[in-house]
Chains A and B, each alone.
Chain A
Amino acid sequence: MADETLDRTALTVLLDTVGDDREFLSELIETYLADGPALFVELRGGLASGDVTAVRRAAHTLKSTSATFGAMRLAGLAREIETAAADDDLVDLGPRIEAAQAEFDLVGGQLRAAAEPGVAS
């Protein structure tokens, strides 16, 4: 499951949780995708200035929201970043952040496709 870009059962659960409102689900996905770039700005900025707290917080949010939408591989990458930041270890974080960015770009397309009517149910 951790290797999957998108775990569709998570989307089904989310749709059920918000009262089967497909339109609202699409709004949530758009909010998630729109919030992403700001999180990556924080990750990169925090890494550059050595602000471990900023990196940890941004990674924590990315992990949590990605898991909500079933973006399990991205959630896993974000957790690694969060753990490293919590351990004060910013070495090697650059490549991980870029890997997360690439995964996030991949997730975007798949999420929008999955949210089309008739797919995520």
Chain B
Amino acid sequence: MSGATGRILVADDTALNRSILDRALRAQGHEVIEAENGRIALEILRAAGDPPIDIVLLDIEMPEMDGYETLRRIKADPDLRDLPVIVISAVDELASVVRCIEMGAADYLPKPFEGAILRARVEASLTAKRLRDAERGLLQTIERQRTELARFLSPQVGALISSPDGEALLAGHRRPVTAVFCDLRGFTPFSEGAAPEEVLGVLRDYHRAMGEEIVANGGTLEHFAGDGMLVFFNDPIEQPDHVARAVRMAVAMRRRFDALRPSWPERGRELGFGVGVAEGHATMGRIGFEGRYDYAAVGTVVIMASRLSSDAASGQILLNRRAFAAVQDLVDGRSVGDLSLKGFSRPVPVFEVLDLVEPATRLAGGVRSHV
């Protein structure tokens, strides 16, 4: 006769009304529970866990606790507030129906009862309830997936995938980014000579420290392979100060590396740290194949950052011209001349950052210069 059936609580002080509703709802395939006033209805609702009540049919005029108070308490209870409440009302009492709808009632059922109207109202509320339940289940799944994703992906990429415009961004877009590539000098000989646990211990320290700086500065870690890491800025979240963020991160990473090195085993202390920072346009999006996709940056800017990192001496942070131009007021830096980088046909002007010149430092420096 009908698709959806449910457990329905009928709260009405008139036994005759309860009998009629009970019979009518059962004839439509529903399970019915009766309450003779609002207080009893609330007790039943709070005790009913599994299977839960799907709908409440609520009379307004009742002794002990009337329909208004019952409705108010249902809507104030976090466990019950999504429960559809259908108010029972005589046609000449529509003002009270309006009040109940304003209080959160889903619908109203006119008295005297009519089977067809009862069926329509109950089924509509039941469908809404089923949808809401399904939605809640879906939200829980999404939340779980988001948590899982965050453990494997950078937080920005995880959030991007879960966001409404995620699909469009994943499909591919082109925008200016700052790419940062960093790796360890002397890591290959170290990893060949040192004990495996030493190698992994050093990598763990290094990844943890660098990871903290990536997060602190809002970078997107594209990937890490052994000691090499590629981080980019201004994507997927736009950052107007992306070059400055990248340079601040590079300087902080170098400081962290210098602090870590003395704690490493002897051979580890010979490791060095170099960084390349390049600003330019890149194509961002999903690359890979079914079963394994990555969110990646493709473009000269990525290669440039990688080559600059290769050319950096231990402790050196090298920038391309565009990156340096964007931050020259913020850093103590200088040109290191035109370098021939692998893969680039002409020598490229390269700059290095010695340190940050944050406003406070600049002021202090100025005072000193007058002494």
Contacts and interface: CB of A to CB of B under 8 A. Distances in A.
Partners in one complex: yes
Indicate the size class of the contact surface on chain A. 20 to 34
A60 B61 contact: yes
Chain B interface size band reads: 20 to 34
B114 A21 contact: no
Contacts of B20: 14, 17-18, 28, 68
Interface string B1-45: 000000000000111110110011001000000000000000000
B99 to A, nearest CB: 15
Interface string A24-66: 1000100110010000000000000000000001001101110
A64 B111 contact: yes
Contact of A18 (B14, B15, B23): B23
A16 interface: yes
Contact of B90 (A14, A24, A28, A63): A63
A13 B20 CA distance: 12
B170 interface: no
A118 B53 CA distance: 39
Contact of A65 (B16, B61, B63, B118): B16
Contacts of B189: none
A82 B118 CA distance: 26
A67 B92 CA distance: 11
The DSSP consensus for interface residues of chain B is helix
Interface in B80-128: 90, 92, 111-116, 118
A95 interface: no
A7 to B, nearest CB: 10
Interface string B205-229: 0000000000000000000000000
A28 B90 CA distance: 19
Contact of A17 (B16, B24, B90, B92): B24
13 contacts: A16-B115, A17-B23, A17-B115, A18-B23, A18-B115, A19-B24, A19-B115, A28-B20, A31-B15, A61-B13, A67-B90, A67-B112, A68-B113
Given A17-B118, A32-B16, 16 more contacts: A13-B114, A14-B112, A16-B115, A17-B23, A17-B113, A17-B115, A18-B24, A18-B27, A18-B115, A28-B16, A28-B19, A31-B16, A61-B13, A65-B16, A67-B90, A68-B112
